[in-house]
């Protein structure tokens, strides 16, 4: 069997970017298409901010502040300080260089361009060779219903530091959202589809909720490999574990496997969770046990190489 050449990845932000960076450095990046969550996009100070698109783009461009996981390296925050002095909200960090991205994107949208076109303009300017597609050009804001009321996801995550108790998640307007141009085709034409280790509820969840995408994955289920974002009952990144538990899902590899089983052929779990392998196999998925904790570039590339191997899982 030939190794897979064309790869399509579904991604959120920070967690996904670790694996994407591994893939980007291991394969021909022009054969990589990334479908990115835009449910946590937000408009602040009149600017359209697409956090996951930017995290993925900055990561692959090599300009990201890798300690923070977002924003430009060596960033300054002079504008944000002044915005705060003008009485504007400053709970969402906006660096000076990062603001240029939001200004550019907002200006393109105001000129009638789509979010896809803006994302393409930005990734090309930053020298990223892979295609980066928003899940949809239509706004689909993720709203968290919580014990403090309805919060935009960024308010929940950044402003309220994921402290409110989650009672429900809504993707507003998703019923009428359409997959961005190229999304369904990228799933259909891929040799392998990789679901990155992102929050299943608010990173992968919004992508799946756009009408047509989940169905397309189901139609191409045999090509779908999902990397479990939970290791030993804890999120690799962010509040996935807490959110899963608050919404009645098990914050475990099995819990994620149940969510992904309808459209996933191969599920990758960390050796820490290998005891759950047989239960996951019972969900009618192959299980690959492989290190999924990616702190170093070597670890990212090792997982990427495994996912790019025709013999995986062995």
Given 3, 5, 30, 125, the residue binding a copy of itself (CB under 8 A): 125
- Options 10-18, 101-109, 137-145, 178-186: segment touching a copy of itself (CB under 8 A): 101-109
> Toward a copy of itself, which CB reaches closer, 95 or 239?
95
Inter-residue contact 19 to 297 (CB < 8 Å):
no
E-strand spans in 127-217?
A: 131-134, 142-146, 149-152, 166-171, 192-195
Closest by CA to 230, choosing from 207, 250, 206, 203, is 250
Instruction: Pull the structure tokens for residue 294.
Output: 């990616």
Question: What backbone torsions phi and psi does residue 258 show, to the nearest 5 degrees?
Answer: -65, -35
Q: Does 117 bind a copy of itself (CB under 8 A)?
A: no
CB of 291 to a copy of itself, least distance (A): 36
Q: Report H helices in the chain.
A: 14-26, 51-61, 78-85, 96-110, 115-125, 153-154, 183-189, 204-209, 213-219, 240-246, 253-260, 277-281, 297-307
x/- site string to a copy of itself, residues 61 to 100, per CB under 8 A?
--------------xx-xxxxxx-xxxx------xxx-xx
* Closest separation in Å from C-beta 161 to a copy of itself: 25
Residue with tokens 């299943």: 200
CA 157 → CA 103, 143, 163, distances in Å? 23, 11, 8
| Near a copy of itself by CB under 8 A: residue from 6, 68, 73, 104 | 104
According to the binding rule CB under 8 A, does residue 121 interact with a copy of itself? Answer: yes
Using CB under 8 A, pick the residue from 5, 107, 284, 297 that binds a copy of itself: 107
Shortest reach from residue 50's CB to a copy of itself, in Å: 14
CB of 99 to a copy of itself, least distance (A): 5
The dihedral sign for the CA sequence 148, 149, 154, 155: negative
Identified binder of a copy of itself from the candidate list 106, 117, 299, 309, rule CB under 8 A: 106
Q: How far is Cα of residue 17 from the mean position of the Cα atoms in its chain? A: 8
CA distance 174 to 161: 25
Token pair for 65: 């502040």
Give the number of residues in contact with a copy of itself, rule: CB under 8 A: 30
List the interface residues with a copy of itself, window 22-41 (CB under 8 A).
Answer: none
For a copy of itself, the closer of residues 127 and 168 by Cβ is 127
* 299 touches a copy of itself (CB under 8 A): no
Identify the CA nearest to 34 among candidates 202, 203, 201, 171.
203
Rule CB under 8 A: choose which of 6, 45, 160, 221 binds a copy of itself: 45
Smaller CB separation from a copy of itself, 107 or 282: 107
Binding interface with a copy of itself (CB under 8 A): 45-47, 75-76, 78-83, 85-88, 95-97, 99-101, 103-104, 106-107, 110, 121-122, 125-126
């Amino acid at each position: 069997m030939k190794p897979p050449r064309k790869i399509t990845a579904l991604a959120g932000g920070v967690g996904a970017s670790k694996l994407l960076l591994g893939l980007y450095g291991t394969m021909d990046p022009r054969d990589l298409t990334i479908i990115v969550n835009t449910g946590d996009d937000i408009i602040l100070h009149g600017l359209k901010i697409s956090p996951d698109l930017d995290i993925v783009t900055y990561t692959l461009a090599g300009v990201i502040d890798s300690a923070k996981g977002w924003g430009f390296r060596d960033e300054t925050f002079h504008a944000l300080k002044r915005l705060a002095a003008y009485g504007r909200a400053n709970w969402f960090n906006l660096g000076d260089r990062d603001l240029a991205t939001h200004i550019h994107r907002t200006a393109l949208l105001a000129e009638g361009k789509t979010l896809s076109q803006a994302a393409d303009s930005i990734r090309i300017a930053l020298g990223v060779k892979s295609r980066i597609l928003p899940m949809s050009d239509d706004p689909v804001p993720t709203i968290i219903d919580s014990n403090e009321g309805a919060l935009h996801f960024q308010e929940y995550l950044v402003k309220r530091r994921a402290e409110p108790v989650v009672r429900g998640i809504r993707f507003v307007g998703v019923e009428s959202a359409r997959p961005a141009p190229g999304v369904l085709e990228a799933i259909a034409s891929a040799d392998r589809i990789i679901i990155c280790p992102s929050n299943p509820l608010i990173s992968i969840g919004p992508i799946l909720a756009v009408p047509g995408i989940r169905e397309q994955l189901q139609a191409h289920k045999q090509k779908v490999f999902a990397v479990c974002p939970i290791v030993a009952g804890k999120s690799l990144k962010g509040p996935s574990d807490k959110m899963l538990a608050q919404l009645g899902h098990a914050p475990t590899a099995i819990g994620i496997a149940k969510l992904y089983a309808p459209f996933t052929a191969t599920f990758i779990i960390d050796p820490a969770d290998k005891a759950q392998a047989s239960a996951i196999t019972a969900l009618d998925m192959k299980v690959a046990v492989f290190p999924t904790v990616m702190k170093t570039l070597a670890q990212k590339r090792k997982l990427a190489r495994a996912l790019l191997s025709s013999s995986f899982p062995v």
